[in-house]
Amino acid sequence: MPGVPVDSTNLVVRALNLVRDKTGNADKKFKINLQKECPAQAGLGGGSGNAATAMWGVNELLGRPATLSQLVDWSSELGSDITFFLSKGTAYCTGRGEVMEDVAVNNGEGKVTIVKIEEGLSTPLVFKNLEYDKLSSMDPIDLLESFKTKGPFNVPKSSFVNDLQPPAFKCLPRLQALYDDLLKCGFDVVLMSGSGTSIFCLGEGGGKNWDEIKERGDLKVWETEFVRRKEGGWYDSRV
């Protein structure tokens, strides 16, 4: 993928070096082939997910010298979001995102569609435009309990909250225009992911508006699903 560094500034390389150093295996060498499936600056944690996968994989190849708890602790040295990807797929994260509580959620059966414009957004820029007096007043613990008991396809639409969506729309009005168009397509839920610029949609979309969006050459559309990690294994879209 153009623009992705291949030196020591790459999160995958840093994750590799971190595990080697922490476990006393600095002399071990690995060859990594990174095939990016998740777009950059999309609010999907693509780089963080790559780093977490590298940490997990290297630890496996070394014979598991580190526990999962240790990998979780070490991951905060690389970034705030990496910890989440060492969960089983659903987690409650606090602090900078590095304090992680794995939670069990029944994802249920349902369709997830991700739509992204070509442009990306800088996370610091989005936070710079965040108006703290306009943050959601909903209790995150109450929202968490709702998702745990009902799953993402059965909770009220009001349960989906992203305080970074308004400042992202302010930074990139075209993103809000796409969001408004997606609201007309019949999805159960439409919400921006992270700090953008991906928008995820739950349920089935349809009609003329959705047909036109799928045909637009300036957008990318992925149909996917929620996944969870099996105990002792890594993520697999077949589970």
The whole model's pTM is what? 0.89
Q: 110 φ, ψ to 5°?
A: 175, 160
- Do residues 36 and 94 both lie within one domain? yes
pLDDT of residue 109: 81
pLDDT along the chain (239 residues), means of 10: 75 95 95 84 90 96 96 93 93 91 86 94 94 95 93 93 97 97 97 96 94 94 90 76
69, part of any domain: yes
pLDDT of residue 38: 83
pLDDT of residue 237: 62
CB-based burial of residue 96 (10 Å sphere; 0-12 exposed, 13-18 middle, 19+ buried)? exposed
CATH code for position 64: 3.30.230.10
pLDDT of residue 3: 66
pLDDT of residue 73: 95
- Do residues 93 and 148 both lie within one domain? no
**How, if at all, do strands 198-202 and 112-117 pair?**
antiparallel
Domain-ending residue, one of 73, 102, 131: 102
pLDDT of residue 239: 42
CATH code for position 176: 3.30.70.890
CB-based burial of residue 67 (10 Å sphere; 0-12 exposed, 13-18 middle, 19+ buried)? exposed
